Structure 1
Amino acid sequence: MRYCTFRPNAGAAGAAGSSQVPRDMPGRVEGDEVVGLEAPTLLDVLAMTQPPGGGPRYPLADVTLLAPIPRPPSIRDFFAFEQHVATARANRGAVVPKEWYEFPVFYFANPAAVFGPDDDITYPEGTRALDYELEVAAVIGGDGQIAGFTAMNDWSARDVQRKEMAVGLGPAKAKDFATSMGPVLVTPDEFDGTHAVMTAKVNGEERSRGNLADIYYSWPEILAQAARNTRLYPGDVIGSGTVGTGSILEHNDGRWLTPGDVVELEIEGIGILRNRVI
C-alpha cells in the first residue's frame, strides 16, 4: 500500500462532488488516483488497528502531495552506512571510531521543519556549504513497528556542522532548517527496507548512487536502539542515515548547492523526492 498526505488543487472535486474539500487529507495512491481516507490525518491512520475506509477519489494530477507525516512527533536520524561514515572521515584525515561498530547512533532532527515533495527549500542563513543527504526513512505505526518507508533528504549546512561538532555537541543548527520527505509512504509488504537502488541528481546530473542493501545495521537493530529506555509513537520518523556516495561532503569537490538548484532523490520502489533551493 502507498499512503500519502495530500491537498486537492483548486477546483479539484472528489467523486462525491462536495464543494467542501478538506485542505490536507490522508490518502492511498492507487495507480493514477488518490483515494481519500476516513481519518483526520495519516498519523491517525497509522495508529489504527484496521485501515480506515476510503472516501472520495481524485486524479493524482489534481492533487499536491505533501510530506507523508507533515509534523511527526519526533525524527531520529541514524548513521548506519559504513561507507558514508568512512569516506566523510577519511576526507578530513580521520577513521571510523570503534564505538560506531558497537551500536547504531542517531541525533534528533527538527520535526517543525519538515517539507514535502516539490516544496521549495530556502537557502539557510549563515552557510556557504549547503548539502543534500540521500536517505530512506521508516515511519512507526501503532504497534511500535515500522508502518512504512519513504525517501528522506537530511539537508545539511556543512560549515556550520563542522563548527558545532568541534564543540562536541554534534549537528544541531546545521540540520535545524529543513528535512524533506516523500513522496509516499510504502508499507512493508511492498517495500521491506532491505534493498533498493538510491540515486541523487542535482539539476538532472546524477551525483550519488548507492543501495539500501549496504546498510550496516538492520532495521530491527535500529528500532531496538531507538526504543531502548523509551517509547516509540505512531508517526515517529527513523532515518537510515546517508547511503555511501549520498552527499556532496563525501565527494569532497566543493560543488555545494546554490539557490536555483533542483535536487532529486530517487528510491527504487518508493519514488522521487524533488525539491528546489531558493
Structure 2
Amino acid sequence: MKLAQLRTEGTTVVAEVLGDVAEVIAEGGQDLLLRVAAHPHDIDRDGTRVPLDSATVLTPIDRPPSIRDFFAFEQHMRTSRASAGQDPDPGWYEQPFFYFSNPAAVIGPDVPIRPPTGTRALDYELEVAAVIGRECADLDPSDPTSMSAIAGFTILNDWSARDIQGREMKQQLGPQKAKDFATSVGPWLVTPDEIALADPTRPKGRMQARVNGELWSDGELADIYFSWSQLLAHAAADTRLLPGDLLGSGTCGTGCILELRTSGLRATRHWLRPGDTVELSVEGLGTLRNTIAPRESVAI
C-alpha cells in the first residue's frame, strides 16, 4: 500500500494512493496511518476518491518521536572522509552509526525550505527512511521477523548547510544548526510488500535527485552497506523504538552536492540557491519536491 496524509476540503485524511487518485480511508493523521499500515483490513473505509492534484499532500509522518539518521552507504562515507582529508575509518565497517536529528523540523512535499541564516553552502541529501510501526527493543538482526517492526518506507531529504556543518564538526559534537532547520519526508508511506524485496532486509530501488529538472544524483538503494535489519537492531539496542520513529539510511552514493563536488563527478555543481527546486525520486516510493525559499542573508 501507498498511504498518504492529505488535506482536502479543510480536513486531514489518511488515504491509499491509487495512481492519480487517492481513496480516503478516514479522517485522521499519523496514528491512523500507522494503524492502517499494520492492519489494512481492520478499518472501515470512507471510500471517497480524491484526485491528488486537488488535494494538498502532507508528510506521512509529521510527529516522529525521534529521527535517527544513519551513515550507511560506503561510497558516501568514503567521499565524505576524503572531503575532510581523511582515509576511511575501519571502525565504520564494524557497526552502523547515526546522529539524532530534529523531529520538530519535519516538513512535507512542496513546503519551501528556509536555509539557516548566513549559509553559503546549502545541500540536499538523497535518502530513504524506514518508519517504525510498533514499539520494539533489543532486536536480533539475524531474526527475519524483526523486520515486522517496520511499517514502511518513505523518502527523506536531510537538508544540510555544509559551511556551518564544517565549523560544528571541528568540535566533535556532530552536526547541530547545520541540520536543525528542516528535514523533508514523503510523499507516501509505502508498505514493504510494495517494494522489490528479493531480500527483505535490502529493498531495491533507483534513487535520483534533480535540481531544476536536471539530473544531479543517481544511486541505488540496494547498495546500502548495512542491511535494514542491522540498522533496526542497532537503533533498538538498549532502548525502545516507538511508532513513528524514523530511521534514515544516510545519503546514497552521489546523493548530495558535497559528494559531487568533492569526488569530481560534477565539480561544477553549485550549492543550492533561492528559487532552486529539488526533486528526490526513489523507485517505488515516489518523488519528494521542495523549493528553496528566498532569503536576503543567503548569498551563494
Q: Same fold (TM over 0.5)?
A: yes
Task: Tell me the CA shift for residue 103 of structure 1.
Answer: 0.6
Q: Equivalent residues in 2 for 1:120-139 (5 A)?
A: 120-139=112-131
Q: Please give the alpha-carbon distance, in whole angstroms, between the structure 1 residues aligned to 2:235 and 2:243.
A: 13
Q: Partner residue of 1:170? A: 174
* Alpha-carbon shift at residue 167 of structure 1 (Å): 0.2
Aligned residue pairs: how many? 266
- Out of 243, 252, 272, the position equivalent to 1:257 is 272
User: Are the equivalent residues in 1 in contact too, given 2:107–2:184 (CA < 8 A)?
Assistant: yes
Q: Could you tell me which residue of structure 2 aligns to residue 227 of structure 1?
A: 236
Match of 1:274 in 2: 289
Deviations 1:58-78 (A, max 9, x none): 122211111111121111100
Structure 1 counterpart of 2:205, from 177, 188, 196:
196
- Does the aligned pair in 2 maintain the 1:117–1:181 contact within 8 Å? yes
Q: Which residue of 2 aligns with 1:90?
A: 82
Q: Within 5 A, what are the aligned runs for 1:32-111?
A: 32-38=20-26, 40-47=28-35, 50-51=39-40, 52-55=43-46, 56-111=48-103
One-letter code aligned to 2:3: Y
1:95 and 1:44 map into 2 onto residues whose CA distance is: 46
Distance in 1 between the 2:66 and 2:258 partners? 26
* Letter in structure 2 aligned against 1:130: L
What are the residue-to-residue correspondences of 1:174-189 with 2, within 5 Å? 174-189=178-193
Distance in structure 2 (CA, Å) of the matches to 1:240 and 1:87? 16
Q: What CA deviation, in whole Å up to 9, does each residue of 1:164-185 have, x standing for no partner?
A: 1100100111100000011111
Aligned to 2:152: 148
Q: Which amino acid aligns with 2:245?
A: D
Q: Amino acid of the residue matched to residue 66 of structure 1?
A: L
Deviations along 1:69-119, whole A, 9 cap, x unmatched? Answer: 112111110000010010121123211212211110111111111111111
Q: Measure, in 2, the Cα distance between the counterparts of 1:101 and 1:158.
A: 25
CA drift of 1:47 comes to: 4.2
2:34 counterpart SS class: helix
Letter in 1 for 2:286: G
Distance 1:25 1:38 in 2: 6
Letter aligned with residue 38 of structure 1: A
1:160 to 157, 164, 168: 164
Letter in 2 for 1:275: N
Q: Distance in 2 between matches of 1:102 and 1:44?
A: 37
For 2:139, the equivalent position in structure 1 comes to: none
Unpaired runs of at least 5, structure 1: 13-20
Q: Which residue of 2 aligns with 1:16?
A: none
* 8 Å Cα contact 2:279-2:288 kept in structure 1: yes
CA distance in 2, matches of 1:41, 1:194: 26
3-state SS, counterpart of residue 7 of structure 1: strand
CA distance in 2, matches of 1:36, 1:203: 32
- Native 8 Å contact 1:47 1:142 kept in 2: no
Question: Could you say what the CA RMSD is over the residues aligned between the two structures, in angstroms?
Answer: 1.5
- The Cα offsets for residues 215-256 of structure 1, whole Å up to 9 and x where unpaired, read as 000000000000001111111111000001000111223610
Alignment-derived partner of residue 218 in structure 2: 209
Mapped pair 1:25 → 2:34: no
User: Secondary structure at 1:87's aligned position in 2?
Assistant: helix
Are the aligned partners of 2:116 and 2:177 in contact in 1 as well (CA < 8 Å)?
A: no
Task: Say whether the 8 Å CA contact 1:27–1:42 is kept in structure 2.
Answer: no
Give 3-state SS (helix, strand or coil) of 1:112's partner.
helix
CA contact (8 A) 2:4 2:33 kept: no
The Cα shift of 1:44 comes to 3.2
Q: Distance in 1 between matches of 2:169 and 2:83?
A: 16
- Relative to the length of structure 1, the TM-score reads 0.91
The runs of at least 4 aligned residues of structure 1 exceeding 4 Å deviation read none
The answer to whether the aligner puts 1:237 opposite 2:252 as a matched pair is: no
Q: Is the 8 A contact 2:134 2:150 kept in 1?
A: no
